[in-house]
Amino acid sequence: MMLQLALIKETSKRSFQTNWQTIVKIVRTVRSMLLLLLYRYTPLTPRERSIEDIFNYMAIDEGLVSSGQPTEGQFFWIKAAGYTAIVDLTTDDAIDNTVENEPEIVTGLGLKYFHIPVDFRHPQWTDFEKFVQIMQQLSEDNVWVHCLVNARASAFIFKYRTAILGVDKDEALWDLREVWEPVGPWKEFVYEMDVKR
């Protein structure tokens, strides 16, 4: 009988320790997940964050910026920095680094949202014409243009600045080359094709 009580007591003790260890692991995991969510989606971080931290950030002027794909949390930074419109040039089938519910997030923040799905392998003039119309519509707004890595965005902005706004090509080319050197169909798009007015 004593042996049975000792075994029951030892089994209960081990069970309690196992349960307690499991609870501690769960609490640590939940705590880590909450800290990750706080870091990613709120301004509560150990260091100052900036819109310049957004992938391939390129400020063209005070009211025009291009970049790679912002994260969900970075759209809050963009709004806080005074931007009022987002122009998204990613394609609908792009899965890497895109924000699935970007239109809802952006419009939920009170920002204007425009999407032109530009095929990276085959840029179309009709897409650029849509871009021109949107940019002219947003002439009084602070505009953030993005794609996945800032290749499409920087090329469209280059073409818009030189062909529509009349900015010197060498000046605009300097900004473009800060991001990338267009190749393939983009080289033709940027350097050779004239805008049909």
- pLDDT tens per residue, range 111-154: 999 999 999 999 999 999 999 999 999 999 999 999 999 999 99
Give the span between the Cα atoms of 8 and 29, in whole angstroms.
Answer: 31
Higher-pLDDT residue of 2 and 116 is 116
Distance in angstroms between the alpha carbons of the first and the last residue of the chain: 99
Which amino acid is it at 18?
T
Can you give the residue ranges of every domain in the chain? 1-47, 51-192
Range of lowest pLDDT (18-22, 27-31, 85-89):
27-31
Pick the closest to residue 174 from 188, 183, 161 (CA basis).
161
| Residue 192's pLDDT band (cuts 50, 70, 90) | confident
Contacts made by residues 35-41, CB under 8 angstroms, sequence distance 24+: 40/71, 40/72, 40/73, 41/72, 41/73, 41/76
Which residue from 121, 120, 134, 45 is spatially nearest to 87, judged by alpha carbons? 134
* Contact of 147 with 118, CB cutoff 8 Å: yes
What does pTM read for this prediction?
Answer: 0.74
**pLDDT at 46 (0 to 100):** 47
177: left (phi over 0), alpha (psi -120 to 50) or beta: alpha
* pLDDT > 90 fraction of the chain, expressed in percent and rounded: 66
Q: Is 88 helix (H, G, I), strand (E, B) or coil?
A: strand
pLDDT of residue 197: 47
> Which residues have CB under 8 Å from 175's CB, separation 6+?
58, 60, 154, 157, 158
Give how far the C-alpha of residue 165 lies from the chain's centroid of Cα atoms, to the nearest Å: 26
DSSP state of 90: -
Residue type, 139: S
Q: Of 146, 136, 174, which is closest to residue 158 (Cα–Cα)?
A: 174
The CATH number of the domain covering residues in 51-192: 3.90.190.10
Bridge pairing between strands 85-88 and 143-146: parallel
